[in-house]
A and B are shown apart, each in its own frame.
Chain A
Amino acid sequence: MEPDVLAVTHLHKKYRNGRGIEDVSFSIRRGDIFGLLGANGAGKTTTMKIITGLITRYGGEVRVGSALLTEDFARALRRMGSLVEAPAFYGYMSAEKNLRMAAAYYGGANAQIDEKLQLVKLYPYRKDKAAKFSLGMKQRLGLALAMMGNPDIYVLDEPANGMDIEGIVEIRNIILTMAQAQSASFLVSSHLAAELQKTCNRVGVIHGGVLQETAEMDWILENYPSLEDYYLRVIGGGLGNGLGDGLGGGQGNGKAGSVE
């Protein structure tokens, strides 16, 4: 059986202010679009930073394919493309030059530059300095940078952040197309349930630093009017208006569970 593209086990990280994540475990299969849904400060970004190696001191284990992040960092990251928090690029360089710099780490990836720029619709602006881009264009550049090296798994933290409606739809279409055409896997975080509902086939709800539950999107939509209702039920009906009471009653059919 093919190993999971990404498996995180018992991730633990506590900051000095007491926030952080606790015992987060989940796995992502090939072709999965896994959404990490949670409020601001729930622990989504911390989880993603650990997975991408930005946080180096933590408890637990991250495995990308067969490569353990702490032991075989370069091989693990070779298969991963990331966009965590604000996109990271050199503002004093053009979009094309930024991609060229990223390509240097993959060997022979220069041929991908035009293709990636066209995919995120930045090709006409490839010679422009990245610092002068709008928020949405910067986000697209971040996405193009994540695509360099044609990774198997994409870790995207709020990828639609700062985008207009058209931009959000384009990002969603790119994710869906790549998942279907290239069997690429995605870990996408958001605090917007409606967006994840349209994009993901699996969802994990993170709340207070703890991954409360993971479930298949089909099962959620069979049992709840929307992902938002499911989320509110999982976190305990936070709004107190009855919306979170849920209609499906939770974990009865085996397609939802606390964590893997």
Chain B
Amino acid sequence: MSLFLRSTKVELVKILIRVKYYVLLLIELLITATVVLFTSANGFAVFGLHMDLPAIPYAVLNSLTVFVLPLIIFMVCADLFTNEIETGMLKAVLLRPIGRFMIFASKITAVTLYVFLHLMAVCALILALKLMLGSPADLPTLPAAFALSIFPMIAFVSFSTLICLLVSNSSLAMFVSMILYFIMQGVTLASAPVGAVFFTSHLNVYRMILSPQYQSALPNTLLLILSTIVLTSAAGFWLFDRQEL
């Protein structure tokens, strides 16, 4: 196994060994199951908008990508970056025979994998419940929508990493990340054309890929997400490489 894979495994273990991250996943699955089962019996209304069972998986995915996963990403990045720098735990890795770029890339990959685990777990649960309820599984569109949603989440990971390396306290890093996210979402709500320059306006990119009517906007959106990832990762690594513990 290459050093990068071994290092990524170490970072992933650091996430998965903490009980809070299991509890978050469990709560997420419980809420999903409750919503799906409740909808199958009664239908479901959100802000006066009635939803039926076929629409629910996409509503769940939307709430995941807009609310739940960003918060989880802020939390994990604060733990893997800010907290490790703050407590000196980062030395445990920096003193090992591995370059800083590989450490940085391993951490980002581990957070991305953890987020992907969330998406896949929720998707698997929805598919299982749909099968149990005798509803059409919506294959392969549903799993594809969940899997494709990882792209904007990678931008979230690199964005959050940058904030975590700019701020020296892990609680403050989470707070600043959340505030900036709310500001970006606020700008999008106030003015969609202005907000469109933020990657946070394109969290439902799966729609563009899976629905022919949106595909003309797809290259620009993917380019925006990709450039966010490249810019924030480059700035993040520059800061990470300058860390002197």
Which A residues form the contact surface with B (CB < 8 A)?
Answer: 49, 52-57, 73-78, 82, 84-86, 88-93, 97-98, 101-102, 104-107, 145, 149
Most chain A beta-carbon neighbours within 10 Å: one of B9, B13, B95? B95
Decide if A84 touches B242 in the complex (CB within 8 Å).
Answer: no
CB within 8 A of B3: which of A82, A105, A145?
A: A105
Across the interface, which residues of A come within 8 angstroms of B139, CB to CB? none
Residues of A contacting B1 with CB < 8 Å?
Answer: 107
Q: A49-B244, A105-B98 are in contact. Are A84 and B7 (CB under 8 A)?
A: no
Contact indicator A90/B96 (Cβ below 8 Å)? no
Instruction: Tell me if B7 and A105 are in contact (CB < 8 A).
Output: yes
CB-defined contacts of B18 to chain A, threshold 8 Å: 92
Q: How far is the CA of A57 from the CA of B244 in the complex (A)?
A: 9
Interface string of B95-128 (1 = CB under 8 A from A): 1111110000000000000000000000000000
CB atoms of B244 and A101 under 8 A apart: no
Bound-state Cα–Cα, A221 to B6, Å? 48
**B244 and A82 form a contact (CB under 8 A):** no
- In the complex, whether B94 has a CB less than 8 A from a CB of chain A is yes
- Whether, in the assembled complex, B245 has its beta carbon less than 8 Å from a beta carbon of chain A, the answer is yes
Sampled A-B contacts (10; CB under 8 Å): A53-B95, A56-B100, A56-B241, A74-B3, A82-B95, A88-B90, A90-B92, A98-B92, A105-B3, A105-B96
- Shortest CB-to-CB span from B107 to chain A, Å, is 14
Inter-chain contacts of A102 with B (CB < 8 A): 92, 96
| Residue-wise interface mask of B (136-175) relative to A, using a CB-CB cutoff of 8 A (1 in contact, 0 not) | 0000000000000000000000000000000000000000
Given contacts A54-B244, A56-B244, contact A89 B89 (CB under 8 A): yes
B95 touches A88 (CB 8 A): yes
CB < 8 Å neighbour of A106 from B95, B97, B99, B100:
B97
User: Does B99 contact A73, Cβ atoms closer than 8 Å?
Assistant: yes
Most buried by B among A76, A77, A101, A106: A101
User: How far does the alpha carbon of A132 sit from the alpha carbon of B9 in the complex, in Å?
Assistant: 25
Q: Is the CB of B91 within 8 A of A88?
A: yes
List 15 extra interface pairs beyond A88-B92, A88-B95, A89-B89, CB under 8 A: A49-B245, A52-B95, A53-B95, A54-B94, A56-B100, A56-B242, A73-B97, A73-B99, A74-B99, A82-B95, A88-B90, A90-B14, A102-B96, A104-B6, A104-B7
B92 touches A74 (CB 8 A): no
| Distance of A27 Cα from B145 Cα, bound (Å) | 59
Question: In the complex, which residues of chain B have a beta carbon less than 8 angstroms from the beta carbon of A145?
Answer: 92
Query: Do B98 and A84 have beta carbons less than 8 Å apart?
Result: no
Report the minimum CB–CB distance from B52 to chain A (whole Å): 44
Give complex CA distance A57, B13 in Å.
31
When the two chains form the complex, which single residue of B90, B92, B241, B245 contacts A101, counting CB atoms closer than 8 Å? B92
* A93 to B7 CA separation, bound complex (whole angstroms): 17
Interface string of B1-28 (1 = CB under 8 A from A): 1010011011001100110000000000
B88 in the interface (beta carbon within 8 A): yes
